[in-house]
Amino acid sequence: MTNDLTIPIAKYEISFIDDPYLRPSFVIYCCGCPHRCKNCQNKELQDATSPLCTQVQTEDICNYIKTIDRGLIDCVVYLGGDFGLYKQQYYLISKTAKECGFQNILYTGYKFENLDYKFKKYTDIIIDGKYKEDQRQNIFPASKNQRVWQKISDNWVIINPIDLPINKEQAKQGGANEI
């Protein structure tokens, strides 16, 4: 692995809500995003030089993922910021996660059709598209233009968001009432 590949990282955390299937996940928040979506959920992570962010060696992230107990975590989720800015770093991290038995879930403002194969090779789910305030909805994903792509038997398909556990759980709690 190349030792000079770094990526600005804000934090890592364990989450039960960032995977559309509500599985326990290891979430990595990168910094840097060119989209500048109005009312972005993580506006403070748009600037790659934010004081909230630290340059981390890609190899260090990969080594940390190798220590995660596979019995506790099912997937690695990539949030930000936008990992779409860090093709080679994402490729190496997602490859390591896949080799460790984890699924990879990428959130990106870039359109699926415009993503390089390095973003798709080891990824299982991609939530694509910029957040658009005028298309906001009260279900996952946050705006109607965003799509949920899932790799099934090496073929990418668009998943109907209504069928996802994250929306079924939200509906049970009375929150998913607008499509």
Q: What is the pLDDT of residues 15-71, one digit of tens each?
A: 999 999 999 999 999 999 999 888 788 888 999 999 999 999 999 999 999 999 999
Answer for the pair 61, 28: CB distance below 8 angstroms, yes or no: yes
Tokens of 22: 């509500």
Burial bucket for residue 91 (CB in 10 Å: 0-12, 13-18, 19+): buried
The half-sphere exposure of 50 on its side-chain side, counting CA atoms within 13 A, is 21
Within a 10 A sphere around the Cβ of 154, how many other Cβ atoms?
Answer: 5
| Model pTM above 0.85 | yes
CATH superfamily label, 6-172: Aldolase class I (3.20.20.70)
In sequence order, which residues have a C-beta less than 8 Å from that of residue 148 and are 6 or more positions away?
A: 20, 125, 126, 127, 140, 141, 158, 159, 161, 164
pLDDT band at 95 (very low <50, low <70, confident <90, very high): very high
Tokens of 65: 């993922």
